[in-house]
Amino acid sequence: MARERYIKLLLMACASLSFLAILLIFIFILRESMPALTKVGFGNLFTSTDWNPDKGSFGILAFLNGTILTTLGGLIIGAPLGVGTAIFLDQVAPKKMATVIRRGIELLAGIPSVVIGWFGLIILVPFIARITNSSGYGIAAASVVLAVMVLPTITALSVETLRSLPIELKEASLAMGATRWQSIRTVLLPAAREGILVAVILGMGRAIGETMAVQMVIGNSRQFTLSLFKPTATLTSRLVTDMGEAPPGVFRSSLFAMALVLLIFAMLLIFSVRMITRKRKA
Does position 263 interact with another protein (CB under 8 A)? The reply is: no
User: Residue 180 and residue 130: Cα distance in Å, rounded?
Assistant: 41
- Can residue 279 be called a binding residue for another protein (CB under 8 A)? no
What minimum distance in Å lies between the beta carbon of 275 and another protein? 19
Say how many residues touch another protein, by CB under 8 A: 20
Q: Please report which residue ranges of the chain form alpha helices under DSSP H.
A: 2-35, 42-47, 61-87, 95-110, 113-119, 125-132, 139-164, 167-175, 180-183, 189-191, 193-209, 212-217, 235-242, 250-281
In whole angstroms, the minimum distance from the beta carbon of 103 to another protein comes to 20
Regarding 93 and contact with another protein (CB under 8 A), the answer is no
Q: Among 39-47, 52-60, 115-123, 166-174, which window interacts with another protein (CB under 8 A)?
A: 166-174
Given the complex with another protein, which of 72 and 169 has the nearer CB atom?
Answer: 169
Q: How far apart are the C-alpha atoms of 199 and 150, rounded to whole Å?
A: 10
- Does 187 bind another protein (CB under 8 A)? Our answer is yes
Q: What angle do CA 167, 170, 171 make, to 5 degrees?
A: 85
Check residue 108 for interaction with another protein (CB under 8 A): no
Q: Minimal CA–CA distance to 141: which of 215, 81, 224?
A: 215
Strand partners, 219: 232
Q: How far is the CB of 8 from another protein (least distance, A)?
A: 42
**37-45, 121-129, 177-185, 270-278 -> range binding another protein (CB under 8 A):** 177-185
